[in-house]
A and B are shown apart, each in its own frame.
Chain A
C-alpha cells in the first residue's frame, strides 16, 4: 500500500492566503523531507525535518514522529509558489526505503 499519503491532492488559493499541506505515513519515519517541483522542473528541497518544527522564510514544517505525520505551512502565498509539493520519508535507517507521496498541486491565483 501507499507508504506516504498527502492531502489535499490539489489546492487553489488567492495570493496572500495561507496554505496547509499534510503528509501522513504508514510507518515510523527516520527521515522526512519536503520538496517543491515547478512544472517541468526538478525537485528542490524545501525543508529537511525528521522531527519537530523548522522554519525557512514563509515555510514552516512540523513533524510529529509518533503520530506519523508532517505538515507544511506556507504563509502569505505568492503566485510563484504554484507547483507541486512532495513529502518524502524514509523508514528505519536503510536508504533504500525512501518513499514519496503523490504530491499536492498548489495553484495561487491573483
Chain B
C-alpha cells in the first residue's frame, strides 16, 4: 500500500526551465528525504528535513531547493535545470525518532532536453 506519494510520475523539460516535484507522506513520519537515482541506478541523498531542520548534502548544486509546508510534505524545486539533472528523484520518509527505516515513493523521472 503506497504511503509516500509523488507527482508527477514523469516530466520532460528543456535546459534552463524551472521544475517542481511534489511529495506527500501519510505515515505520520517526522523526517523526509529526497534522493537522486542516476542512469546507473546510483542513489545519493540530496536533502533530509526534520522538524524544520534541513540537512543538505554539500554536493547538491544550489539550483536545487526543498520546500516544506508541514511535516507531511517535502517538495523539490529545481531553479534552472541542466542536462545532468536527468534522473529519477525519489522521496522517502522515516519515523525519525531514533529509527530511520525508510519508506520510498514511486519516484519522478526527469528528462532534460
- Kindly state whether residue B12 has any CB partner on chain A within 8 Å: no
Q: Which residues of B contact A31 (CB under 8 A)?
A: 99-101
Which A62-97 residues have a C-beta within 8 angstroms of B? 84, 86, 88, 90, 93-96
Q: Known: A45-B102, A90-B100. Is A95-B43 also a contact (CB below 8 A)?
A: no
CB contacts (< 8 Å) of A48 on chain B: these are 99, 101
Taking the closest CB of chain A, its distance from the CB of B87, in whole angstroms, is 14
A2 to chain B minimum Cβ distance, whole angstroms, is 10
**Interface residues contributed by chain A, number (CB under 8 Å):** 23
* CB–CB A42/B90 < 8 A: yes
Main secondary structure of the interface of A (DSSP, over half): strand
Q: Which chain B residue has the least Cβ–Cβ distance from A99?
A: B45
Nearest residue in B to A93 (C-beta to C-beta)?
B98
Chain B residues near A100 (CB, 8 Å)?
42-44
Residue B107, interface by CB 8 Å: yes
| 28 A–B contacts, CB within 8 A, in A order | A31-B99, A33-B101, A33-B102, A42-B104, A42-B106, A42-B107, A43-B43, A43-B92, A43-B104, A44-B104, A45-B101, A45-B102, A45-B104, A48-B99, A48-B101, A88-B43, A94-B55, A95-B31, A95-B48, A95-B50, A95-B55, A95-B96, A95-B100, A96-B56, A96-B57, A99-B45, A100-B43, A102-B40
